Structure 1
């Protein structure tokens, strides 16, 4: 039973996750569905955003540069090639973290080389920023894709400050540069902090949503598994109810050797069902069997109950073979009808007939007795011999059952047609 419940838990959890839309992102990791989507959104925003600022810096690089001779082209290529790779990677959603990290590191190296690259170059103007300034916040936003939060904070603070230092070094510490540099650094710090905060906020929200979803799905799985276990327990109890109760009543009322033998056989059958309660009630091979096999199985089962019974056979040639589960259900339902006839009608006029038709194709088992009969509609709800062991059992395999009872006797008809389900 433990393995069955565990399997039920897994199937219920799979069903619950199956209700979540499956995309390429969500299939990668069910537990981080929202986080995966947010990461993709961030890369899509960083790519086009970097393209805008990168284009501004690229066009600025065509103007008069601050670098000394021989430095401009290597610096431009060294910075813009990783930038282009990052933009493409973010746009297509592949290797975005790798190329974003490369650009963030390369840009810091370019800033560190800026005083050396501009030594001996044209005198800078305080009101005109070099092309590299426009990429300061591109470098900080690239860390949102590439690095964990701690490094994002370091880059967001260090990159603008480093630009301010190298800009003052380039200007030789002239007082005219101090205020413009402070304003530029402050602007870059504020913008970088805003972008960093937005990334952190959206990721935190996504993590909380995923956690809430995981808790909800786990609760749903636990509740559904509990309900499935309870449903299984009720179903088993319902099927066992009449077998056990019938055996007890038969034992209590037994007054002849035949009745005692029947009571013992019914008790043995009830104990066997109890022992197999953890197994599938439709256990056994589903390999189709000949229709005549049903008559043989009914006769064997009747002898085990101490009843000498000969089943009348009227099976046409061409009658379809019966699936194993259907055959087992028909035999068990027929034996329940036989046991009812023995118990309530003392087996008066008890006969069993098996018929088989080639067109439309199917079989029928009829169990008749000539007892006093009973009112089918008046059967109490807690008596499941007919409802559970006959009607429900046949319905479970696509069959039909009909009970006709009058004062002249009772006829239980069990039918299955090959086109019903199989």
Structure 2
């Protein structure tokens, strides 16, 4: 399996999952993101309702000292409004909730100071009491589990302490205050537990989902590898072994020619396996079509080159499979030059020549010979051909084997001054 095939398998696996904007946030957060968004939205709506109740209660409050009421309500309800807005729109929820949770603790700490001299009525709740559990909810949105526990337990207890300080620790105030604190602790514990449960379930769903995708990808990769093995086995049996058996059993000139043709076809299919290209039509093609193909393929590789053409307009056409093999081998040489030499001094030339064709006398066996030669050269640092690993088929398979399949030759001349790849194919004119 190649890297491209592995990537294709993973793409196929993810293709079975919704690809909306929210669904592609990040690996392993598919459900968690939705749970967080739902919690923030519900928290925003609930906080707006309780906050409105506390705000209207604060309008008639007379416990604060003159000049402190506006500052304290601004410190409490300003961050609360920002938290509600953030929860409704789903942006900046953690920051806004964290600011409110801290600002509420500051308000509680200031409460004995701003209410100095006032005596609370037993069984009554000041407006700040309605914000106690909102601060617990804010901690659930903003902090990790340890700080959530601190706020869930600490905020109600701090409220009870400051009310006792305000009332001078009178006995009549203690029993109703214990009930208020107990109710805040219970409600805060429920909010904390719900947040923890929902997030844990979402995390488990994400983990299970990721495992399912991995299992699917592994199964698909195994199936693809098995199919590839069958395809290679079928190719080896149908083409390579058949050609070898035919060559071994050939006894006549015709049978030997057939074995050579079968071997060439097998080499061509092997050389074209990477591009998944078959032989296609064998209709004659002009030599200029090969140069055009090289220029087009080079542009697709990101290099604009002009192939130097040295052949007459009436140059003999060449078979289609030969033209494709020459163009593909030349393109591989261009790709090698771009990859390993940076395309330094890259030049491509296509020449065609005919020897003896015009002077041949029909009926006297004087057939001429035509040849096509393509040279791909660069001025890069060159390389040592003997050190190229055996599993690198860019030269051996895509160039040398491809030319061998059509009866051509490939010569690679490389050194410190650059590399030149010469491809040549000859055929007789009859």
If the TM-score is normalised by the length of the shorter chain, which range does it land in?
0.5 to 0.7
Aligned to 1:376: none
1:50 is aligned, of 40, 47, 72, to 47
1:151 to 144, 147, 152: 147
CA offsets per residue over residues 284-309 of structure 1, 9 Å max, x none? Answer: 9x9xx995439xx9xxxxxxxxxxxx
How far apart, CA to CA, are the structure 1 residues paired with 2:14 and 2:245? 49
Deviation at 1:240, TM superposition (A): 3.3
Structure 1, unpaired ranges of 5+: 298-323, 330-422
- Give aligned pairs, total: 292
Distance of 1:265 and 1:291 partners within structure 2? 17
1:128 correspondence with 2:120: no
Among candidates 275, 279, 282, match of residue 280 of structure 1: 275
Q: TM-score, normalised on structure 1?
A: 0.64
Do the aligned residues in 1 keep the contact of 2:272 with 2:278 (CA within 8 Å)? no
Match of 2:109 in 1: 112
Task: Evaluate the alpha carbon distance shift between residue 282 and residue 290 of structure 1 in structure 2; reply closer, same or farther with a 3 A threshold.
Answer: closer
2:239 counterpart of 1:243: yes
Measured on the aligned residues, the alpha-carbon RMSD in Å equals 2.7
Distance 1:277 1:94, change over 3 A: same
- Give the match for residue 255 of structure 1: 251
The corresponding residue for 1:8 is: 5
Q: 1:171 to 1:38 in 2, by over 3 A?
A: same
1:35 is paired with a residue whose SS is helix
| C-alpha contact 1:240 1:273 (8 A) present in aligned 2 | no
Moved more, 111-120 or 62-71: 62-71
Whether contact under 8 Å (1:16, 1:217) holds in the other structure is yes
Q: In the alignment, is the contact (CA less than 8 A) between 2:112 and 2:162 conserved in 1?
A: yes
How far off is 1:67 after superposition? 1.1
Of the three residues 38, 53, 57, the one matched with 1:60 is: 57
Corresponding position: 1:229 with 2:260: no
Which runs of 5 or more structure 2 residues have no equivalent in the other structure?
290-319, 326-430
- Distance in 2 (alpha carbons) for counterparts of 1:252 and 1:290: 28
- Which of these residues, 274, 285, 299, is aligned with residue 293 of structure 1? 285
Q: Does the 8 Å contact 1:236/1:277 carry over to 2? A: no
Q: CA offsets, 1:230-263, max 9 Å, x none? A: 2122223223322123223322331124423443
Helix, strand or coil at the partner of 1:293: coil
Conserved in 1, the CA contact under 8 Å of 2:122 and 2:176? yes
TM-score calculated relative to the size of structure 2: 0.63
Per-residue deviation, residues 174-224 of structure 1 (Å, max 9, x unmatched): 011111111111110100000000000000000000000000000001111
Match of 2:37 in 1: 40
Which whole-Å deviations, capped at 9, do the CAs of 1:324-366 have from their partners, x for residues lacking one?
99x979xxxxxxxxxxxxxxxxxxxxxxxxxxxxxxxxxxxxx
**1:84 alignment partner in structure 2:** 81
Selected match of 2:195 from 184, 192, 199: 199
Residue range with higher mean Cα deviation, 153-162 or 12-21: 12-21
